[in-house]
């Protein structure tokens, strides 16, 4: 068993252990879950230190036969792109557990089930980024829906079961379209090179144009729903509003990345020609997402809805970077995925604390928090600034790379995309002003500032946001080779910027 598999299996063992051992001690359950996620995080950092950055090959590979009659293997391995996403997941999880220590207490089924679901979800998240077998990926991709569905439906607030089912049905619909495409790819591989689900081998298939376009669409729609891209986004605001802050962090921070990750790993690597065909359409959708998400965010009265729509805008940037098909754009998009994960996590967690203290998620209920709860206000401010890509904070680097990468090929899209940055200033600064500054709104005078647990939880995120803003090199070193490789394999070379004399 490779270290990768061990990291993936560990949370599942924890979940099973938790489910089987009878314990009524809530505090102990929480500590156990936190301990497991912490160990996984530590191990995944070990995984990263053993990773050869210069190589673009899959590393930590392992392959065992699972369903031999279809040649389905339990095959895992990571390259730069999957490594950083696995790191993002494993590092965010203990933070989420610690930050939302009490969020399961009011749930429908008790604390234990909550942490069983969280731990099971961690295994699936690692699996989905590590799978190098298409079928295995699909299994993780779909199975992941179930814990999230129960997390939203069982522990959320408001109209939670409606939001949960909307999320599930959207995802299932996309997933089943993808299943049709997977079957297609599988059958075609059977005709050409012997039936296989191995990604590296599938990438060598010669598929005729029309079939390739349809297969591509099956994958792309599934990922566009997941990411989510306009017009497939409508489930996200509902889900984010109903889920607990911790679940929202996992949903927007990690799970939605599966969509953008899938676009790179499957859409582009398996169907380079179709990707080329659809690029103009996808870039258009991405630009619409950027602008639409930003405008919707400006209009939000609900703080969770605000963060959800800012994410739609950000996912527009990521998708644009991916399909710009330049190495800067691709690297930028990958880095963006990581940065967006951390800054959204910060926003959601702090917003969660604010809401828990005030008992409301309406922006206008807050005001003057700076005076009452300075630490909370400052952390929210930094997270917000990262959200609008302030230079010096992490998001700026990735947004800049995406825009540069896009400009060299699609200048118009890049220019319109830049407008998104201006709008971002509006949708972040207005709520920041309303919630943090000005006179303290009645009812807010006695709010408590962050306690020690919360400070410990948020500190690493803020640290990452600032460090990555000034020194993104360690992460970029991991991402760059693989990103360049993806673009080259898809048959693109970076355009040389034309400078008119």
Among 3, 177, 404, 416, binds another protein (CB under 8 A): 177
Based on CB atoms, which residue is closest to another protein, 15 or 397?
15
Supply the DSSP symbol for 234: T
Find the helix or strand (DSSP H, E) in which 65 lies.
strand 59-67
Q: Are 162 and 153 in contact (CB under 8 A)?
A: no
Judged by CB under 8 A, the residue of 164, 240, 258, 335 near another protein is 164
What length is written for the chain? 501
Q: Please identify, using beta-carbon distances, which residue of 79 and 198 lies nearer to another protein.
A: 198
446 forms part of the interface with another protein (CB under 8 A): no
What number of other Cβ atoms are within 10 A of residue 20's Cβ? 8
Stretch of 181-189, 232-240, 354-362, 386-394 lying at the interface with another protein (CB under 8 A): 181-189
Report DSSP state, residue 220: H
Q: 233: which residues sit within 8 A by CB, 6+ positions away? A: 289, 293, 312
> With respect to another protein, which residue has the nearer C-beta, 64 or 493?
64
Q: Which is nearer to another protein, 177 or 291 (CB)?
A: 177
Q: Which one among 186, 232, 266, 407 touches another protein, defined by CB under 8 A?
A: 186
Select from 291, 289, 334, 341 the least CA-distant residue to 316: 289
Q: Is 438 helix (H, G, I), strand (E, B) or coil?
A: coil
Q: Which helix (H) or strand (E) holds 139?
A: helix 134-143
Rounded to whole angstroms, how far apart are CA atoms 471 and 481?
Answer: 18
Q: Based on CB atoms, which residue is closest to another protein, 110 or 460?
A: 110
Binding status of residue 68 toward another protein by CB under 8 A: yes
Stretch that binds another protein, among 80-88, 115-123, 170-178, 331-339 (CB under 8 A): 170-178
**165 interacts with another protein by CB under 8 A:** yes
The Cβ-side half-sphere exposure at 264, using a 13 Å CA radius, reads 34
Looking up tokens 């991991």 gives 478
- Map 261-317 to HEC letters: HHHHHHHHHHCHHHHHHHHHHHHHHHHHHHHHHHHHHHHCCEHHHHHHHHHHHHHHH
If one asks whether residue 210 binds another protein (CB under 8 A), the answer comes out as no
Q: Is 33 helix (H, G, I), strand (E, B) or coil?
A: helix
Is 144 strand, coil or helix? coil
Binding segment for another protein among 160-168, 261-269, 293-301, 422-430 (CB under 8 A)?
160-168
Other CB atoms within 10 A of residue 21 CB: 11
Binding mask 84-123 for another protein (x = CB under 8 A): ------------------------xx--------------
Q: Of residues 32, 60, 115, 138, which one binds another protein by CB under 8 A?
A: 138
Among 3, 39, 143, 356, binds another protein (CB under 8 A): 143
Least separation, in Å, of the C-beta of 2 and another protein?
21
Position among 67, 415, 419, 422 found at the interface with another protein (CB under 8 A): 67
What SS3 state is found at 254? Answer: helix
Closest approach of another protein to the CB of residue 331, in Å = 32
Q: Does 160 bind another protein (CB under 8 A)?
A: yes
| Alpha-carbon separation of residue 82 from 236, 426, 478 (angstroms) | 24, 33, 10
* Binding span for another protein by CB under 8 A among 67-75, 241-249, 301-309, 445-453: 67-75
Asked if 63 touches another protein (CB under 8 A), the answer is: no
Interface contacts to another protein, rule CB under 8 A: 66-70, 108-109, 138-143, 145-146, 150, 153-154, 160-161, 164-165, 168-169, 172-173, 176-177, 179-180, 183-184, 186-187, 190
């Amino acid at each position: 068993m490779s270290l990768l598999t061990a990291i993936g299996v560990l949370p599942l063992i924890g979940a099973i252990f938790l489910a089987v051992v009878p314990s009524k001690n809530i505090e102990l359950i929480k500590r156990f879950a936190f301990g497991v996620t912490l160990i996984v995080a530590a191990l995944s950092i070990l995984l990263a230190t053993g990773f050869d950055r210069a190589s673009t090959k899959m590393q930590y590979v392992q392959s065992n036969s699972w369903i031999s009659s279809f040649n389905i293997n339990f095959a895992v391995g990571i390259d730069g792109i999957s490594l950083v996403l696995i790191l993002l997941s494993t590092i965010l999880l203990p933070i989420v557990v610690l930050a939302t220590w009490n969020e399961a207490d009011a749930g429908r089924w008790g604390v234990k089930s909550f942490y069983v679901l969280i731990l099971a979800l961690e295994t699936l998240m690692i699996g989905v980024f590590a799978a190098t077998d298409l079928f295995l990926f699909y299994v993780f991709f779909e199975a992941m829906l179930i814990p999230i569905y129960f997390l939203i439906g069982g522990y959320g607030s408001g109209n939670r079961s409606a939001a949960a089912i909307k999320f599930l049905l959207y995802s299932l619909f996309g997933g089943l379209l993808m299943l049709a495409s997977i079957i297609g790819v599988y059958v075609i591989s059977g005709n050409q090179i012997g039936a296989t689900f191995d990604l590296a081998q599938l990438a060598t298939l010669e598929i005729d144009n029309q079939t390739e376009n349809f297969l591509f669409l099956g994958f792309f729609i599934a990922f566009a729903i997941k990411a989510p891209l306009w017009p497939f986004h409508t489930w996200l605001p509902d889900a984010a509003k109903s889920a607990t802050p911790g679940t929202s962090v996992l949903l927007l921070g990690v799970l939605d990345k599966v969509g953008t990750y899938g676009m790179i790993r499957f859409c582009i690597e398996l169907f380079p020609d179709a990707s080329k065909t659809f690029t103009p359409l996808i870039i258009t959708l991405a630009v619409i997402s950027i602008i639409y998400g930003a405008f919707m965010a400006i209009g939000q009265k609900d703080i969770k809805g605000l963060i959800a729509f800012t994410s739609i805008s950000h996912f527009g940037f990521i998708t644009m970077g991916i399909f710009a098909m330049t190495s800067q754009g691709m690297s930028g998009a990958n880095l963006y995925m990581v940065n967006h994960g951390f800054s959204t996590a910060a926003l959601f967690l702090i917003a969660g604390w604010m809401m828990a203290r005030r008992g409301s998620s309406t922006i206008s209920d807050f005001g003057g928090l700076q005076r009452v709860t300075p630490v909370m206000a400052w952390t929210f401010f930094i997270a917000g600034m990262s959200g609008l890509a302030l230079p010096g904070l992490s998001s700026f680097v990735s947004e800049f790379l995406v825009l540069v990468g896009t400009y060299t090929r699609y200048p118009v899209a890049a220019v319109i995309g830049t407008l998104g940055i201006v709008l971002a200033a509006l949708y972040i600064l207005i709520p920041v002003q309303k919630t943090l500054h000005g006179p303290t709104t009645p009812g807010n005078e006695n709010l408590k500032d962050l306690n020690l647990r919360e400070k410990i939880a948020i500190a690493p995120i803020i640290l990452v946001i600032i460090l990555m803003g000034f020194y993104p090199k360690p992460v970029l070193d991991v991402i760059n080779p693989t990103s360049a490789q993806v673009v080259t394999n898809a048959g693109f070379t970076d355009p040389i910027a034309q400078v008119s004399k």
